[in-house]
Chains A and B, each alone.
Chain A
Amino acid sequence: MKVAILNFPGTSCETEVERLFQTIVKAEPTIIWHADATSLEAYDAVVIPNGAVYGNYLRPGALAKSSPATKALQTFAQAGKPVVGLGNGFQVLVEIGLLPGAFLQNPSLTFQSGKAALRVNRKTKFTSQYREEVITLPYAQQFATYYNDTPIAKEQIVMTFENNMFNSTQSIAALTNEGGNVCGIIALPERATEAVIGGTDGLPFFESILNNWSEQ
């Protein structure tokens, strides 16, 4: 599987995603600078890594709208291929309209990091490899509160916070679009793929992507 890792100005966590696909879940990752991403046709999956894209200015993820990569990403997603936004990448997907809703500042008004218990909906293409219903993943966000005034269908909810610490709509931590091929997750599964670094509860997330799409 050829995985494009899309680097916007301010993206900071691209190398951990690259390393993960190179050495742990075994795919062919390529880091692509956003200005060079006018077409993503050559890839089988696109990942938007965590990191303060455009400095989180205006609203986190918002300024990605001005990048040529956005159009290519929209075309890519319409073809039904998998698109994943990790952490700030989730905010980008919301702002460019590939996922519904918006993000608000944490109720504490401060950046918050730590580990959270998440309940997994194992029926999505991003979670089919999970065996457990409740997992632990790290998070690190100042804008982790997911907001939407129209309810999200159950099938689209990928993970929820067990303790809704950010006061998110429907406790959402991860969700997909209606087509089920675009997924945003505000927690950081890529930081939980090695026992020595942060556990392995994030690994099935990436294995699911490989499993469900690599034959296509």
Chain B
Amino acid sequence: MVEPTAQQVKEEKLYLQMGMTDEEFALAEKMLGRTPNYTETGIFSAMWSEHCSYKSSTPVLKRFPTKGPRVLQGPGEGAGIVDIGDNQAAVFKMESHNSPSAIEPFIGAATGAGGILRDVFSMGARPVALVNSLRFGDLTDARDRFLFKEAVAGIAHYGNVIGIPTIAGEAQFDQSYSHRPLVNAMAVGLLNHEDIQKGVASGVGNTVIYAGAKTGRDGIHGATMSSAEVTIEEEEELPIMQGGDPYLEKLVMEACLELVHYDSLIGIQDMGAAGLTSSAAEMASKAGYGVELNLDLVPQREEGMTAYEMMLSESQERMLIVVKEGHEQEVIDLFDKYGIEACAIGKVTDDKMLRLLHKGEVVAEIKADDLAEDNPVYHKESKEPAYFAEYQAMDNVAPEVKDVKQTALDLLQRPTIASKAWVYNQFDSEARGNTVVAPGSSAGIIRVEGTNKGLAMTSDCNSRYIYLDPETGGKIAVSEAARNLVCSGAEPIAITDCLNFGSPDKPEVFWQLEQSADGISAACLALDTPVIGGNVSLSNEVNGQSVKPTPTIGMVGLVNDLSEVTSSTAQQAGDAIYVIGEALPEFGGSELQQMLEGDIRGRAPQLDLDVEKKRQNQVLQAIREGVVASATDVSEGGLAVALFETVFGETVFGLDVTLRGEAVTALFSETQSRFVLTVREENRQAFEAIVEDAVHVGTVTAQEVSIKGEDGDVWIAGTASEFHDAWKGALECLLNSED
């Protein structure tokens, strides 16, 4: 193929195929002072894609609170960093791999884990844990079952081979994700303050080194693809997916973590979305320097690659490194120890340009800032959708339930609620021997090596609430994440987010994005959990339909002393059961409503951040004083599900409780800011003195289940194993169904 000339790019509007608009092309022309050639157009289009530039979401992201006494690095680098005391810091970020996972779920999900790990270790941190957040269709469709199974296997494969434990995560199922799943992966790392690295290319004459896998023609324009919607009919024409190699990444990671201690290291960055283009342009722009690369020197996997292909390839497991001039060999030798190819491909200049040479010619010359800083920013139109006012006007009424016990059993078997053991049993959740709490609890907890402290982590987002009321839903997502950490004995310290939405060109979608960001911001301020980084994934649509708005929250908390780690499940029969928080008839977006009516409507549950904060503080205080045996929050499915989950631990118990109010509301409402705790008999008095809203509702029993109303009406009765069996096997049973 002969590459089109600059003139052809302009006249034939070839930039449109690369995802650039007429206005954007004109802006690039103006910035350059000439018409960009084919390679340059590709570079502009990738750098100005939503994935790299956040051009549509920047105005929204600015709303987030990003500062706090613990924040050492906020948004803008590979990952955010928070201080955890003792000169140590936690480094974390969440990222989406939605589009690739919709096409080739094993590879897509695996490379998602790989990419987020590189973001963390390129900051100089050793990754210590992985978390994942999955959204799939409700598994009634064979394609969705296939997508889910393969995505889980892909995540498992990458994490297991590289030897980093997956210790937390969640999966929710809703038909809006059918054929358009969301696969969000979060990595958490640890480092000492002095080892913090940044992706900068500074110091004229310093050397740019390429390390890792060779560059191939895979994933070209992945960055633009990830911002494009999936049209099912076009699957056969999709670009070549970039495959991942966790073994290679393990070796690259070990080399990079050694390199962090070299005095000659200036900067290091992952070649992620838009590969060599974004890493080079961003490193130069951040440092205020320029970078000149000789593409003839780039290790290539295929013959005859053009500059365009090399710059836009998204081959995995590659790093761009800048070292002091004259120190190239020690870096090359270090990578060689691990069998990894590394070589010098360019140098740092003072002219602030990204300049590319290929076969003796300058093939691209663009100001680094034009690419990485001065991208167009759009203030998209925002409009309240018609449904919102209609739903807000609806009354809160409890749905009619004929058979309460059967309803409880049915809820326990919903894929969103059922045990996720089928998923997490495929993960090595204990690699490297620091896992204190493995998946299956409110939050995962990893010991901070060499200390008695722990890092707790979780991810959360109920997109049904966000759909009905994005601002309240945003508050709920953050509050629920914090609740999960608090229940496990941790103090929430910061969040990362992954904003998965439909097309930003739909004013209603953009409104959802804005409103939910406002809700998230309010909750982050109230709960002292700044946003230290994140990712935006827009245009998650299939055949023109948007997925439910899903701003996934990844939250990290600090456990001061591992003796304070608290189980989410009951420890012994005879312990008292307490509930914090009164149930109101709030069923909008509830699992019960979805199950009974096949859709959702009405008002999302309300949330008072002051009440939320007060209860979280009291629960954490009670846990720290050692008077709580187990704690969990009330979420999907309401109190009935939370009560059952409390007794479905390693040992399965029964329960005998008496609840106030009307049965359907008491059992299945999804009113927020509620908790279920168990307390040993001898600690009850001390506990009640701390948690003023706690109501004693009953007792953990050996096997018998009895849930009654105040008037003595038996609502639910049976044996624990009957309910446990239903909950435990439901997901696997659904996945093995054949229709």
Q: Which residues of A are interface residues toward B (Cβ below 8 A)?
A: 9-13, 15-16, 19-20, 33, 35, 50-52, 54-57, 110-114, 138, 140, 142, 188, 190-191, 196-198
Contact = CB atoms under 8 A, between A and B. Distances in A.
Interface string B321-344: 000000000000000011100000
A19 B433 contact: yes
Contacts of B431: 12-13, 50-51, 140
Nearest to B429: A113
B118 interface: no
Given A52-B160, A140-B428, A57 B247 contact: yes
21 contacts: A9-B339, A10-B161, A12-B162, A15-B433, A20-B433, A52-B160, A52-B162, A52-B247, A55-B246, A55-B247, A55-B250, A56-B161, A110-B156, A111-B153, A111-B157, A111-B428, A113-B430, A114-B425, A140-B160, A196-B447, A197-B435
Nearest to B439: A113
Given A110-B156, A111-B427, A16 B432 contact: yes
B426 A12 contact: no
B296 interface: no
B434 interface: yes
Given A113-B425, A191-B430, A55 B161 contact: yes
A198 B432 contact: no
Contacts of B163: 10-13, 51-52
A113 B164 CA distance: 14
Given A51-B163, A51-B431, 7 more contacts: A15-B432, A33-B337, A54-B247, A55-B246, A140-B160, A142-B160, A190-B433
Contacts of B153: 110-111
B245 interface: yes
Nearest to A23: B450
A113 B433 contact: no
Interface string B124-161: 00000000000000000000000000000100110011
- Most chain A CB atoms below 10 A, which of B163, B427, B565: B163
Nearest to A190: B433
B430 A138 contact: yes
B287 interface: no
B436 interface: yes
A197 B160 contact: no
A196 B489 CA distance: 14
A188 B163 CA distance: 14
A52 B160 CA distance: 8
Contacts of A16: 432-434
B409 interface: no
Contacts of B447: 196-197
Contacts of B697: none
Given A13-B163, A113-B427, A197-B447, A191 B433 contact: yes
A28 to B, nearest CB: 19
Contact of A10 (B164, B247, B449): B247
B562 interface: yes
Nearest to B433: A16
A13 B432 contact: yes
B250 to A, nearest CB: 6
B430 to A, nearest CB: 5
Contacts of A12: 162-164, 250, 431-432
Interface residues of B, number: 34
A48 B696 CA distance: 52
B404 interface: no
B562 A196 contact: yes
A155 B153 CA distance: 38
Nearest to A115: B650
A113 B428 contact: yes
B691 interface: no
Contacts of B432: 12-13, 15-16
B363 interface: no
A52 B246 CA distance: 10
B704 to A, nearest CB: 27
A56 B156 CA distance: 14
B251 interface: yes
B271 to A, nearest CB: 21
Contacts of A111: 153, 156-157, 160, 426-428
Contacts of A196: 436, 447, 562, 565
A122 B436 CA distance: 29
Nearest to B565: A196
Interface string B433-450: 111100000000001010
Nearest to B248: A55
Given A111-B427, A196-B447, A52 B433 contact: no
A46 B424 CA distance: 32
A183 to B, nearest CB: 19
Contact of B426 (A33, A35, A112): A112
A33 B449 CA distance: 22
A52 to B, nearest CB: 4
Contact of B161 (A52, A112, A138): A52
A35 B333 CA distance: 14
A55 B436 contact: no
Contacts of B424: 113
A80 B433 CA distance: 29
Closest 7 pairs between A and B when the two form their complex, measured CB to CB: A12-B163, A55-B247, A16-B433, A140-B428, A52-B161, A111-B426, A51-B163
Contacts of B565: 196
Interface string B153-177: 1001100111110000000000000
Interface in B402-430: 424-430
Contacts of A52: 160-163, 246-247, 250
A65 B251 CA distance: 19
A72 to B, nearest CB: 18
A141 B434 CA distance: 18
A197 B454 CA distance: 12
Nearest to B149: A110
Interface in B35-64: none
B450 to A, nearest CB: 9
A20 B433 CA distance: 10
Determine which residue in B162, B163, B430, B436 has the highest number of CB atoms from chain A within 10 A of its CB, and name it.
B430
A7 B337 CA distance: 13
A52 B251 CA distance: 12
Interface string B359-399: 00000000000000000000000000000000000000000
Given A110-B153, A110-B156, A9 B433 contact: no
A183 B245 CA distance: 31
A196 B430 CA distance: 12
Contacts of B562: 196
Nearest to A142: B160
A69 to B, nearest CB: 14
B684 to A, nearest CB: 26
Contacts of A197: 430, 433-436, 447
Contacts of A138: 430
Interface string B81-103: 00000000000000000000000
A51 B337 CA distance: 19
B423 to A, nearest CB: 10
Contacts of A140: 160, 428-431
